[in-house]
Structure 1
Amino acid sequence: MRMNPIEKKRITQNLIMCEVFEGLGESFVEEILRIGQIERYRAKEIVRSRGDSCEEVLILVHGEVYGLFTNSEGRVLQIDHMTAPKLLAAAVIFSTDSKYPVDVETVKDSTFLRIERESFIGLMMNNEKLLRNYLRFISDTFMFITDRFYEITMKNLVQKVCGYLLKLMNEQQSTSVVMHMTKEELAREFGVSRPALSRVFIELEKLGVIESEGKKIKIKDERYLRDYAQFGY
C-alpha cells in the first residue's frame, strides 16, 4: 500500500523509536520500509489469530493492540496491552512451529509494518547492531512473559487488586488515586470475571480499606494494602 510523504515520515520516526531499531538511524529504517508492507486496521479488528502461521516480522508502528487468549467458552484473558512502536510475537518468529500465540486485536485504528522473515534474517546477518537489539528484545520479552505468568497463576485476586492500587498510589504519590482502566478492562487484565473483581472492591470497602467512586479510589488503610500486596511478590 502506497504512503504519502507525510505518512512515510511519521512511520519512519516511529520506527526509529522501536527497541529493535535503536541506534540504527533513519537511512536504515527507510530501507526497512522499502522491503516491508504496510497494513492498516480499524479499532476492534483482529489483526492475527492465535494459531495463525507466523513467518513474518510484524511491527506495530501506530496505534494500540491487545494480546488476548480466548477459550472455547468465550472467556478472554488479556496477556498484554501494546502501544506503538512495538515488535509483535518476536519470541516465536524463528521457532520450529512458528504460530501466533495469542489473538492480536486493535484497541484503536492502527498501522503495521510486515517484513518477510527471510528478508529480516538477511538484514540481521549484515548488521550486528540489529542482531544484538533483536536478541535483547527477545530476552526482555521472555522475562515479561515469565513475570506475567507468575502474576496470573500465583497471586489471588485480592493480592492483585491490592498490588495494583499500591502501584497507583506510588505512581500518583497520593492516597487518592485514579485508575487508568475501567473495572471491565482491569478484570480482563487479571483474567477474571467482572463480577468477581467487583466483589473484591466491595469487600475492601466493607473492611474500610478503600472508598470507591467509579475510577476514583481513596486509600484509607495503607498498611492493609501493603501487607496484603506483599504476599504476591
Structure 2
Amino acid sequence: MHISSSNMRFVETLENCEIFKGVEKSFIDEVVRNAKIERYGAKELVRIRGDECSELLFLVEGEAFGLFTNPEGRVLQIDHMFAPKLLAAAVIFAADSQYPVDVETVRPSVFLTLDKNFFVSLMMKNERLLRNYLQYVSDAFVFITDRFYEITMKNLVQKVCSYLVRLMEEQGSSIVTMDMSKEELAREFGATRPALSRVFIELEKLGVIEMDGKKVKIKSERYVRDYAEFE
C-alpha cells in the first residue's frame, strides 16, 4: 500500500508509540488517514477534566501535561507526556468515559483524534494491535496508581516534617521528644499507622533523622524545613 508523503511523518512517529510496536505500516496509515488533526500553541488547554472521552487522542508532536486541580485550587501535575503518546487510554472504553485530568500543552503540539469504534474494528483485525493496547491500558493503570501513591506519600512526608519543625521550635533543640504516639499521629494526619511508619523508616534510611523510641534526632534540619515548606 502506498503511503502519501503527508501521512508518512505521522506514520513514522506512531511506529514508535507502544500501541503500534510490531504493527504493519499499512494499519498505522489507516489510523492516520481516518484521524483528525488538531494543532495547539504553547500552554493551551486541549481537553478539560470531565470532557467526554469518545475518541483516541494521540500526541504526535510536542509535549503536554496532565493536570488535576483539587477543590482548594491547587494544581497537581499527574503526568508529563511526550510524543508519541496515547492519552487517557485507561478510560476510553469506560461506561462513563470522561477525561480524568486537564490536558495542557507545554509547547506547540499536534494531536490526532480517532473514533474509538473505528479503532475497535482495527483491533479486531490485528491481534498485535489488540495485545499492545491491552498492555498499554494495564501499564497506564499501574502508572496512575503509583503516581497517586507518590503524591499521597509526599503529602505525608510534608506533614511529618512540619510536625518535626514544630517540635524543634517548641523544644529548642534538634533532638526532640514526640508528644504523640505514632497511632495518634496517624489519626491526626488522616493516614494509616503503617503508612506513617514507612515515612519515618524512609527518613531514617535517608539519614534525615535517627529514631530512639519517642525521641527523634533531626540530622538534616535543611531537609526537614524544606519539606515542611513544600508547596
1:94 aligned partner: 93
Tell me which amino acid in the other structure corresponds to 2:150. E
In 2: Cα distance, 1:14 partner to 1:65 partner: 16
Tell me which amino acid in the other structure corresponds to 2:206. R
| SS in structure 1 of the partner of residue 206 of structure 2 | helix
Instruction: Give the TM-score normalised by the residue count of structure 2.
Output: 0.65
8 Å CA contact retained: 2:54, 2:116: yes
8 Å CA contact retained: 2:7, 2:33: no
In 2: Cα distance, 1:26 partner to 1:82 partner: 24
Structure 1 unaligned segments of length 5 or more: list them: 160-195, 200-206, 208-222
1:57 aligns with 2:56: yes
Matches within 5 A, 1:157-196: none
Structure 2 unaligned segments of length 5 or more: list them: 166-173, 175-202, 210-231
Change (3 A) 1:71 1:146: closer
Tell me which amino acid in the other structure corresponds to 1:62. E
Matches within 5 A, 1:149-164: 149-156=148-155
In 1: Cα distance, 2:125 partner to 2:142 partner: 27
1:224 Cα offset (Å): 7.5
Tell me which amino acid in the other structure corresponds to 2:13. N
1:73 Cα offset (Å): 3.9
Aligned length: 165
Change (3 A) 1:128 1:227: farther
2:206 aligned partner: 226
Q: Which structure has the greater CA radius of gyration?
A: 2
- Residue identity (%): 60
| SS in structure 1 of the partner of residue 138 of structure 2 | helix
In 2: Cα distance, 1:31 partner to 1:107 partner: 29
Q: Which consecutive aligned stretches of 4+ in structure 1 deviate over 6 angstroms post-superposition?
A: none
In 1: Cα distance, 2:208 partner to 2:150 partner: 14
Tell me which amino acid in the other structure corresponds to 2:122. L
CA RMSD of aligned residues (A): 2.5
1:29 Cα offset (Å): 1.1
1:34 Cα offset (Å): 1.0
In 2: Cα distance, 1:11 partner to 1:33 partner: 7
Matches within 5 A, 1:72-91: 72-91=71-90
In 2: Cα distance, 1:14 partner to 1:22 partner: 11
Matches within 5 A, 1:188-207: none
